[in-house]
Amino acid sequence: MPVFIALTQDIPTRERNRQALWGPIYMIFILSAFLFGGTYIINFFGISIEGIRIAGGLMIMRFAYSLLNPSEGGRKITNEDEAEAMQKADISFSPLAMPLLSGPGSIAVVLGFASQTSHALDYFTLFGAILMVAAAAYGILRVSPKLVKFLGKTGMTALTRMMGFIALCIGVQFIINGISMLLIS
């Protein structure tokens, strides 16, 4: 949300809302590609699901650490990427959809869950979850200017750190699950 606000601060509200809509739509396409085609990709490269879980957990933990300690860097996009995005008329695909909404951590989560599917209903359930996350992302991006004003700088910092802690816990759990799967097999 803070990156979206920073990148769209100088554009009209109608254009910001359009980009808030298209970012999550692109996210759906990206994550769905990995949901339905990811197992072929990981099989082609010979990557184990345990490895994906551990790597995904590390990526999520790295991101979470950057939320908990913003002064130490670890941003999802570099200063150069942000400067380039400021010059772009449309940020909905890059950097909004990729890497902000559907980066390596999100892709690892989708691949991890997709590897546990046993029939078509599981895929549709996961696709439904992607749709719900996209709808939530759209809602948050759409109201982000008002939410930032309401929360203020201190509230945004507190919210960011709370989300960082939750993300850190998710990352640790992914690593635990990956290691457990290695030990069991």
pLDDT in tens, 12-57: 999 999 999 999 999 999 999 999 988 888 888 888 888 888 988 8
pLDDT category at 86 given cuts 50, 70, 90 is low
- Residue 57: name the closest of 181, 166, 169, 140 by CA: 169
Q: How many CA atoms lie within 13 A of 96 on its CB side?
A: 30
Angstrom CA distances, 76 to 67, 103, 160, stand at 10, 8, 14
pLDDT of residue 35: 93
pTM of the entire structure? Answer: 0.79
What 3-state class would DSSP assign to 42? helix
157 pLDDT more than 90: no
What would the two tokens of residue 25 be?
Answer: 């739509």
- pLDDT, tens digit, for every residue of 117-148? 889 999 999 999 999 999 999 999 999 989 88
The SS3 call for residue 47 is coil
